[in-house]
Structure 1
Amino acid sequence: MSGSAPAFITRLTLSDFRNHERLDIKVGAPLVAFVGDNGAGKTNILEAISFLTAGRGIRRAALADIARHDGSGGWSVSARIESDGLESQIGTGFSAGNSGRKVRIDGEDIRTTETLLDYVRVLWLVPSMDGLFTGPAGDRRRFLDRLTLSIDPAHGRRVGDFEKALRHRNKLLDQDGGDSFLSAIETQVAELGTAVSLARLETVSLLSTALSRQTDGAAVFPKADIVFEGEFESRFAAMPATEAETGFLEMLKNSRFRDRQAGRTLLGPHLSDLQVRHSAKNMPASRCSTGEQKALLIGLILAHAELTRSVTGTPPILLLDEVAAHLDPGRRAGLFAKLSEIGGQVFMTGTDEALFDALPDNDEIHLIAHPACRLLRGASSP
């Protein structure tokens, strides 16, 4: 189900997922809010949706840890997806004793989770990302990789293969592996690492262009300036891909002794970083206030949702966990208006129904009071 129309979830079913033994939710609106007490399972619903696309979900949890306590040890998530008048049923799940999750589309087993990207692309903003600009560079690389994946479905596999090849090289260095084995794995590292870096740089370039179109002062959220940089990019980014691969390969060969002493590979795109600045203040995001960092992050997510719509023809599904709680009423209203303008489906959570008073009348608010879900407001509510 690929195409130019947004993909909308119209029904979501969870089985033995976190605290939900069985939860069946019918959805009939673009903007959907789940409200309820802490611990009711609102974020768990967003996590379930995040598994309807490629990747490890919003918590990056071990699959076995997601299964409901006292359940079978497995879990499943399924959804009815509608796009441009076409309907598909997609599902994923995990069974105790298996090493990975299974995917099924319209009743047929699918070999790879990447196929889900033909149906649903998902971006999210969760409280654990509040420290993105002050935390380790690895968190920002993963954030950028998720942004890249939404416009380049092959990126996730490239990153996984690159990280695997890098671990293999480090192990060979530690075990004094022979030159022929090292040369073979270094060829893979150079090829995959260059491809990963170029894909990240392309995403940053496209997103920077999208951000530059924003007018200072007119946007609800502050504009960010972004750049992806590191020693690898300084050396090789300006070269054609084949020359960059050759240069990286030569560098890997020449740095074997140093890397063996260090116990790791000391140069490569696995060490590069996404740098973000508050454009109007010309200040690194890491030095901005907590509120400014949150606003910058929301602005980046919204800009990338628009970029995804521009590149693929379809806006992603957005998952915004507790995003409204830290915004003043004006910014909340501005956020909801911007989300409606982007045109995709959005799922949000909050403890207080009043946080979503500014939602358009045709959107929905569902009360999650474990183990039930009840529609409080929306086109189909009483």
Structure 2
Amino acid sequence: MALDKITLQNFRNHASSELVETAHFNLLVGENGAGKTNVLEALSLLSPGRGLRRANLAELARRANPEDEPGAFAIGASLIEQGQVSARIGTYTEPDRPNRRLVRINGADAPASALSEWLAISWLTPAMDGLFTDSAGARRRFVDRMTLAVEPGHAKHVTSLENALRERNKLLETGGEPRWLDAIEAQVAQHGAVVAQNRARLIDLLADELSAVPPEPFARPILAYRPGGPTDVAELLAELARARPRDRAAGRALSGPHRDELDVVMASSGVPAASCSTGEQKAMLIAITLAHGVLASSGRPSVLLLDEVAAHLDPVRRAELFRRLGTGKAQIWMTGTELAPFAEIESEAATWRVSRGKLERL
């Protein structure tokens, strides 16, 4: 197990909810809009970033009335390793600072990036079904989240890279002194090279894991990392210096790790994922998620959040999904409108019925 004694206070439609005595499989069932995905979103915020919905913090606090000012929320959980509590982690906001997320680990303040040192969390939601036809930025965020699960320090480099790129854009726009550009480009190159190398290493690991997976019942994808510029520090630094006139005219950097791309094709046909059917895309996305779950659970405790996945699979694929999840080490959280799709694992799962933001243990 990874998480237990989970508490949600004033989060979305949950005024005060608690989940205890969790298991390897954890099921949340209830009608649409009951608050199932809200629980998954709360768990996703126990990792760096904006969670599985990428919502603004002020949207997360529960409001008794829509016209009320944003309040504060709190999410906490005990981290379980080998049957023992190894840490208590939590994230929250304060009433006077609703747009600033705070983190505590074992009772002490900590940066959000520190959460990745304790726990690896990944997820698959219906909103991700269009990943292969979405923007390159969406795929980079997808890759970064997967990378974070195996490289805990990745988030710091991504944040530093984004900040440095914004500062470089400002300097180019305002005609900043060359020495300031030299300094900020050194930061872009330093952090950008690490980000690019981490991403490439993650894709290589996933490709190796996927190569051993049977092509059925889930369509097997072939992954390739396509860098948006040099991945070596010195080469990236030189490219940034050469590209100043071009980037000044464009208003942004036109090459670098912020332009990386994830290429995906279906192994059996060689067709790019973006051109495959919706069902094939879904199957490939599940295959990637399962392969990543193996990588993520090889080190720290890990959690996999699956929102409304089982109900949309045929019986053969659903059985194979449960089989693979059952043999993995990651703690699994799944949602559904009814228990029927989970019949094969119901006896070994911890199950809660969710209704209007309230939880009832079944």
Tell me the TM-score range normalised by the shorter chain.
over 0.9
Is residue 224 from structure 1 mapped to residue 230 from structure 2 by the alignment?
A: no
Query: Aligned partners of 2:141 and 2:309: how far apart in 1?
Result: 20
Maintained 8 Å contact 2:29/2:337: yes
SS of the counterpart of 2:133?
Answer: coil
Q: Percent identity?
A: 42
Maintained 8 Å contact 1:18/1:68: yes
Gaps of 5+ in 1: 1-6, 238-243, 377-382
Q: How does 1:53-72 map to 2 (within 5 A)?
A: 53-70=47-64
* Equivalent residue in structure 1 for 2:342, among 345, 351, 356: 356
Q: How does 1:320-339 map to 2 (within 5 A)?
A: 320-339=306-325
Maintained 8 Å contact 1:353/1:365: no
**One-letter identity of the residue aligned with 2:358:** A
Residue 301 and residue 183 in structure 1: after superposition, are their counterparts in 2 closer, same or farther (change >3 A)? Answer: same
* Structure 2 equivalent of residue 255 of structure 1: 243
Query: Aligned partners of 1:139 and 1:78: how far apart in 2?
Result: 28
Q: Normalised by the size of structure 1, how large is the TM-score?
A: 0.89
Query: Aligned partners of 2:78 and 2:188: how far apart in 1?
Result: 40
**One-letter identity of the residue aligned with 1:289:** S
State the Cα distance separating 1:56 from its structure 2 match. Answer: 1.6
User: For this pair of structures, how many residues does the alignment match?
Assistant: 356
* Equivalent residue in structure 2 for 1:32, among 13, 17, 26: 26
State the Cα distance separating 1:366 from its structure 2 match. Answer: 1.5
SS of the counterpart of 1:346?
Answer: strand
Q: Normalised by the size of structure 2, how large is the TM-score?
A: 0.94
* Structure 2 equivalent of residue 152 of structure 1: 151
Residue 352 and residue 251 in structure 1: after superposition, are their counterparts in 2 closer, same or farther (change >3 A)? Answer: same
* Equivalent residue in structure 2 for 1:342, among 305, 324, 328: 328
**One-letter identity of the residue aligned with 2:38:** N
Maintained 8 Å contact 1:89/1:105: yes
State the Cα distance separating 1:315 from its structure 2 match. Answer: 5.6
Query: Aligned partners of 1:352 and 1:117: how far apart in 2?
Result: 33
* Structure 2 equivalent of residue 380 of structure 1: none
Please, which moves more after superposition, 91-100 or 188-197?
Answer: 91-100
Query: Aligned partners of 2:18 and 2:82: how far apart in 1?
Result: 24
State the Cα distance separating 1:176 from its structure 2 match. Answer: 1.1
SS of the counterpart of 2:313?
Answer: coil
SS of the counterpart of 2:95?
Answer: coil
Query: Could you list the per-position Cα deviations for residues 334-355 of structure 1 after superposition, in whole angstroms to 9, with x for gaps in the alignment?
Result: 1111101112211011112212
Please, which moves more after superposition, 50-59 or 292-301?
Answer: 50-59
Query: Aligned partners of 1:52 and 1:301: how far apart in 2?
Result: 19
Residue 118 and residue 187 in structure 1: after superposition, are their counterparts in 2 closer, same or farther (change >3 A)? Answer: closer
State the Cα distance separating 1:360 from its structure 2 match. Answer: 5.1
* Equivalent residue in structure 2 for 1:78, among 76, 79, 87: 76
Maintained 8 Å contact 2:119/2:301: no
Query: Could you list the per-position Cα deviations for residues 225-270 of structure 1 after superposition, in whole angstroms to 9, with x for gaps in the alignment?
Result: 10110341xxx34xxxxxx211211111111111111111111110
Residue 50 and residue 231 in structure 1: after superposition, are their counterparts in 2 closer, same or farther (change >3 A)? Answer: closer
SS of the counterpart of 2:96?
Answer: coil
SS of the counterpart of 1:64?
Answer: helix
Query: Aligned partners of 1:207 and 1:189: how far apart in 2?
Result: 27
State the Cα distance separating 1:14 from its structure 2 match. Answer: 0.6
Maintained 8 Å contact 1:19/1:41: yes
Query: Aligned partners of 2:22 and 2:159: how far apart in 1?
Result: 36
Query: Aligned partners of 1:27 and 1:348: how far apart in 2?
Result: 16
* Structure 2 equivalent of residue 131 of structure 1: 130
* Structure 2 equivalent of residue 184 of structure 1: 183
Residue 315 and residue 305 in structure 1: after superposition, are their counterparts in 2 closer, same or farther (change >3 A)? Answer: farther
Maintained 8 Å contact 1:325/1:355: yes
Query: Aligned partners of 2:75 and 2:282: how far apart in 1?
Result: 30
SS of the counterpart of 1:294?
Answer: helix
State the Cα distance separating 1:370 from its structure 2 match. Answer: 1.9
Q: How does 1:252-331 map to 2 (within 5 A)?
A: 252-310=240-298, 312=299, 314=300, 316-331=302-317
Query: Could you list the per-position Cα deviations for residues 5-63 of structure 1 after superposition, in whole angstroms to 9, with x for gaps in the alignment?
Result: xx422221110000111111223321111110111100000001111122221111111
Is residue 103 from structure 1 mapped to residue 103 from structure 2 by the alignment?
A: yes
* Equivalent residue in structure 1 for 2:354, among 360, 368, 374: 368
State the Cα distance separating 1:90 from its structure 2 match. Answer: 1.8
Maintained 8 Å contact 1:231/1:272: yes
Query: Could you list the per-position Cα deviations for residues 54-82 of structure 1 after superposition, in whole angstroms to 9, with x for gaps in the alignment?
Result: 22211111111100013770000111221
Maintained 8 Å contact 1:306/1:315: no
Maintained 8 Å contact 1:64/1:96: no
Residue 192 and residue 119 in structure 1: after superposition, are their counterparts in 2 closer, same or farther (change >3 A)? Answer: closer
Query: Aligned partners of 1:285 and 1:21: how far apart in 2?
Result: 41
Maintained 8 Å contact 2:91/2:104: yes
Query: Aligned partners of 2:248 and 2:2: how far apart in 1?
Result: 50
